[in-house]
Amino acid sequence: MAEVTQLIHEYLRHDKKFPHVLCPGCGHGILLGSLIRSVHALGIPKDDVALVAGIGCSGRVAVYVDFNTVHAVHGRALTVATGIKMAKPDMHVIVVQGDGDALSIGGNHFIHAARRNIGLTVLVLNNFIYGMTGGQCSSATPLGCWSTTTPYGQMEKSFDFVEMTRAAGANFVSRGTVFHVKTLDKLVRQALVHPGFSLVEVLTPCHTQFGRKNKFKSPVDMYQWLKKAAMPLEAYEKLDPDKRAGRIPIGVFVDNHEPALETRYAAMRAKLAKG
């Protein structure tokens, strides 16, 4: 196993201060590891990767890894990534966003990037909360959960990232967790090579801001919950609907192969060039 960490260290920016800024037990680091392993396994050169992040804890991930990294403004990572991808279609443009970044402030961009089916790999780190700003509820905070801005419980329903992205028309839609790392690696690898808009919703615990207020005693408790709650999509579908409550399906939900926006654009240009 030694190669795993050794490999990751080859991709980290060691002139950046480590350990990283994230809290003990935060799953964001696990996703970063997964991303590095996936890029390496696919043999993608560092130069060909543009990693665009939004604002929040997820936004801090980008600075630690030796790709072309962009830390954008809150909610707008997808717009910057769209510009990069259209200007350099051969680059692998990866977007790391949090739940608040992607579907609260950045919801409009998210829907439209999925609709356009532009060739971005989008990793949404869903921790159900605004972590960096101090634990306020987000559009992913489940009904009834507590946060600093829902001190009497969340009254609003949360977004289902998978269904939202499917409805918007993305090519590849999947969900994984940072506990099920080998599945996650597989999903990230698939998303990286899949043409068009590819989403991996990554469930990641935030004990500091979400867990503490929602009856999780430790970060480990949250991972125990992920371990129990998550199950493969295929098994989930066979489950009696009455028994689905509290279970989270993981796996690939949408696997289409429609041409990506940049492919359609290139085809239009070729047609125009012919006259």
Partner 1 sequence: MTNPKKGQTRITIYPDWCKACGLCVAFCPAKVLEIDVAAGCARAVREQECVNCGFCELHCPDFAIVVTPRGKTRNGGTQPPQENGN
Partner 2 sequence: MSAKRKTAAREIFALGAEAVVEGALLAGCSFYGGYPITPSSEIMEGMAERLPRTEDGVFIQMEDEIASLGACIGASLAGRKVMTATSGPGFSLMQELIGYACMIEAPLVLVNVMRGGPSTGLPTSPAQGDVQQARWGTHGDHSIIVLSATDVQDCLHMTVKAFNFAEKYRTPVILLLDEVTAHTREKITVPLAQDLEILYRLQPSMPPEWYKPFEETVRGVPPMPPLGSGYRFHVTGLTHDDHGYPTQKPDEVVAAISRQFRKIDQFFFDIQITDEFLTGDAEVGVVAYGSVARSAHLAVEQARERGIKAGLIDLKTLFPFPRAAVEGLLRRCRTVIVPEMNMGQISREVKRVNPGTSTVWTINRVDGHIITPKQILESIRKG
Binding site for partner 2 (CB under 8 A): 13, 15-16, 46-48, 50, 52, 62-63, 66-73, 76, 78-88, 91, 108-109, 111-112, 265, 268-269, 272-273
Nearest to 254 by CA among 193, 210, 200: 200
With CB under 5 to 8 Å by kind, the binding choice for 265 among partner 2, partner 1, none is partner 2
Distance CA(201)–CA(188), nearest Å, equals 10
Our finding on whether 181 is near partner 1 (CB under 8 A) is: yes
Angle at 204 between CA 231 and CA 165, to 5 degrees: 70
Q: How far is the CB of 141 from partner 2 (least distance, A)?
A: 24
Our finding on whether 211 is near partner 1 (CB under 8 A) is: no
Q: How far is the CB of 127 from partner 2 (least distance, A)?
A: 21
Binding residues for partner 1, rule CB under 8 A, total 35
DSSP-derived letter for residue 85 is H
Nearest to 96 by CA among 34, 179, 18: 34
Among 211, 219, 249, 251, binds partner 1 (CB under 8 A): 219
Our finding on whether 176 is near partner 1 (CB under 8 A) is: no
Q: How far is the CB of 51 from partner 1 (least distance, A)?
A: 17
Among 33, 59, 119, 135, binds partner 1 (CB under 8 A): 33
Q: What does the block give as tokens for 109? A: 């961009």
Subset of 13-32 contacting partner 1 (CB under 8 A): 14-20, 22-30
Cβ closest to partner 2, residue 246 vs residue 275: 275
Could you give the count of Cα atoms lying within 13 Å of 100 in the half-sphere of its Cβ?
20
Looking at the DSSP assignment, which residues form a beta bridge with residue 207?
Answer: none
Q: What is the maximum alpha-carbon separation in the chain?
A: 67
Contact, 170 vs 117, CB < 8 A?
yes
Q: What does the block give as tokens for 75? A: 């909610």
Contact, 84 vs 52, CB < 8 A?
yes
Residue numbers at the binding site for partner 1 (CB under 8 A): 1-2, 4-6, 8-10, 12, 14-20, 22-30, 33, 178-179, 181-182, 218-220, 223-224
